[in-house]
Structure 1
Amino acid sequence: MRRAFEVECTTSIYSGLLRMSDLLSLQPKLDIKLYLVAPEERRDKVEQEIQRPTFALREKVLPEVCGFLPFNECAKPSRESVSSSSHRPSSPTFSRRWRSTSLRSPTPDAPPCTAAPARAILFLSVSAEPRHDPKEPAVPIVHHAVRLSSAKRFGHRVPAAPLGIALQQVDVAVRRSVLMAFEGRSVAAGRPRAWFNAACDIRLVDVEGNDDTTLHFEAPELGEAAEELYLQAEIWPSRPPPGWTGFDVLAGVLQDVGAGNLDSERFDRPLLQRVAHFGRLLEAGFDALRVEEHRTGAPGEAVLDRATVDTARKLSASTPRAQAVRIAGLLDMVRMSTQSFAIKLDSGEEIRGVLAGGSVEVARELLSRRVLVHGRAVYRPSGRILRLDAERIEDGEGISGFWSKVPKPIFGRRREPRALYRPQTATSGVNAIFGKWPGDETDEEFDQAIKELS
């Protein structure tokens, strides 16, 4: 191998340099020429990023072995194509005094990207070096951009406090959205399972922008990160497509919230509250957050702004409170990896649930038998049941069909206390009774009047 080229066109420069650095770390004895190929207008960005300590302070200093090659140089004829194969081009042109020397293209006798034979060149594409443990199978990584707009035009020089809020909010929102997509709940007690941590392993790789602030992330494809779940059969279409990432799932949540979808399966009340917490980000100086997603195969955006936050709060307030229930039916499915189950009622309707307590092993022994589920019914803003949070599942042989019904919310939708207030008029409230009661009757007459009323 004679040379390695990293071609960057639309993805972040930082992620490309990381792949170069990873190559040198995985192959420390590798002695080849490295070139980062990018548009001429991104030259300054390359110079800025390669000066980061993670590249400049490593054992094999990246600025000393990696050169910049603009796209227009790739179009020029190659001299090496007519020279002998023993020709040795000079080293890449990052100076050892890179702190005071401007970034330059490879020296004149260094070949463009078409120079060497194909078998002598290694191209590091955007997805060729995914982030993973070298001892484990590679997980495909997808690039996502999260754009933050602000009247203050922070650009890439965003203050630390708002940036910290954005990163925290995005990370938690992705995790809760992924859990909701797979288990039907956005919050779960106990230690997260391995598939969940792998599916939510998002990484910030770059911050750039002039007016808007663009955060560049890398996220794993769910079908590979949570492969064990996709190998299992499912009885309801709740699982995201395997090519999606956590950002795609979050984008779906934001779109349903923004549309005010009362009957959505993509969120529960805790997830609505999490979306409403993005109000902190808007209070910190940003006007909107846009999440890049690829659910349709083409890039798109899901927007979170003040209207989205207000809608999330209203949906949360209108969601009926969870209530204790007992439901009888046929235990139709139990899934160990997500602690989930499905119960079929006597009417043929099916309700999915999550085992919040008890043993999954006990539930498996009751599979395809009539059971009685003790737990809490969780509702959507529309009032329809979303799931059952089961505390225990027991044998339901002989249990009456009276308990095999979809439970309706008893407490109704949540209402703001102020919505219960009624203004007092001349004929309502205290004024409706004040002065109406006789005040000159004797005790005997009062007692007699009470007896007649009773």
Structure 2
Amino acid sequence: MMNWQNYITADPFVCEGKACFKDTHLLISEILGKLATGVTPDDILKSYPSLSHEAIQASLAFVAELTREQIFNQSKLAPHRQVRVAGRLEAIRLSDYTFTLIAAETQYAINGFAKAIDPQTLSTLLGKNVVVSGTAHFTQEGALLILEAAQIVIAKGNDIEIWGRIPTPLHRPFDMSDFKEERGLSAIIGKWPGDETDEEVLSALEELS
């Protein structure tokens, strides 16, 4: 079976995180588009001599696996969302519009991408407390993957206290451990009368009063 990982990478700091061939800035979507229009692998290699037949096959294997995974895990993917995050702009790299933000509340380093921000404006914010507005992208497990900035401004007033937390998905991936499994008689008829705790009894009485 083709091991596409040997030929393809999806680094948040290369090609805006889109899948591309290793050690290049060539998107696999460009090659797949040519294949879809009938261009042969041999003709593609003439235009892109840094590629190989194996790399082209790897792009097809990558898409096939990605499609299967998306169909299987579609209900568990953590959706991206619009967020604001406050913290210190620790580092920037103008060559590829990337930055590192230290979240104010946890001092956690957040990787960001700021292609929409003017590079000169971005450089003036280095080392300062800022508020980043944009789109947060998450892993399947709900961890923050990258922050795509639409705007970065100097933090004012209590911005740090309000927006200093690390963004999380609006909905966590489904987890069966969230549900307690009932066994035996309680699984059929529910809680047996008289099994209530003192707190539950008091709460019920308060609702009736």
After superposition, the CA RMSD in angstroms is 4.5
Q: Is the alpha carbon distance of 1:199 and 1:335 closer, same or farther for their aligned partners in structure 2, counting shifts above 3 Å?
A: farther
| Per-residue deviation, 1:372 | 0.6
Alignment match, 2:42: 206
Q: Is the alpha carbon distance of 1:290 and 1:390 closer, same or farther for their aligned partners in structure 2, counting shifts above 3 Å?
A: same
| Per-residue deviation, 1:343 | 0.3
Structure 1: which 5+ runs fail to align?
1-146, 148-172, 188-194, 208-214, 221-244, 252-288, 293-301, 415-452
* Residue 89 (structure 2) pairs with residue 331 (structure 1): yes
User: CA offsets, 1:187-219, max 9 Å, x none?
Assistant: 9xxxxxxx8469999796639xxxxxxx96855
* Residue 161 (structure 2) pairs with residue 401 (structure 1): yes
User: CA offsets, 1:232-266, max 9 Å, x none?
Assistant: xxxxxxxxxxxxx7999xx8xxxxxxxxxxxxxxx
Alignment match, 2:14: 182
Q: How many percent identity over aligned positions?
A: 19
Q: Distance in 1 between matches of 2:120 and 2:65?
A: 45
Alignment match, 1:312: 70
Q: Distance in 1 between matches of 2:65 and 2:87?
A: 41
Secondary structure of the structure 1 residue equivalent to 2:84: strand
Alignment match, 1:354: 113
Aligned-partner residue type, residue 76 of structure 2: S
Contact 1:334–1:342 (CA<8 Å) still a contact in 2?
Answer: yes
Q: Distance in 1 between matches of 2:117 and 2:29?
A: 27
Structure 2: which 5+ runs fail to align?
35-39, 175-207
Q: Distance in 1 between matches of 2:163 and 2:53?
A: 40
TM-score by length of 2: 0.56
Secondary structure of the structure 2 residue equivalent to 1:314: helix
358, 364, 379: which is aligned to 2:123?
Answer: 364
| Per-residue deviation, 1:314 | 2.9
TM-score by length of 1: 0.29
Q: Distance in 2 between matches of 1:344 and 1:411?
A: 24
User: CA offsets, 1:322-366, max 9 Å, x none?
Assistant: 112111111012222212111012322111111153322211100
Which structure exhibits the higher relative contact order, with contacts defined as CA atoms closer than 8 Å and separated by 6 or more residues? 2
Q: Is the alpha carbon distance of 1:322 and 1:200 closer, same or farther for their aligned partners in structure 2, counting shifts above 3 Å?
A: closer
User: CA offsets, 1:289-317, max 9 Å, x none?
Assistant: 9539xxxxxxxxx9559666322333454
- Map of 1:26-425 to 2, 5 A cutoff? 177=9, 180=12, 182-186=14-18, 196=25, 206=42, 219-220=49-50, 290-291=57-58, 303=61, 309-346=67-104, 347-398=106-157, 399-413=159-173
Q: Distance in 1 between matches of 2:64 and 2:85?
A: 40
Contact 1:200–1:246 (CA<8 Å) still a contact in 2?
Answer: no
Q: Distance in 2 between matches of 1:358 and 1:216?
A: 36
Q: Distance in 1 between matches of 2:153 and 2:64?
A: 46
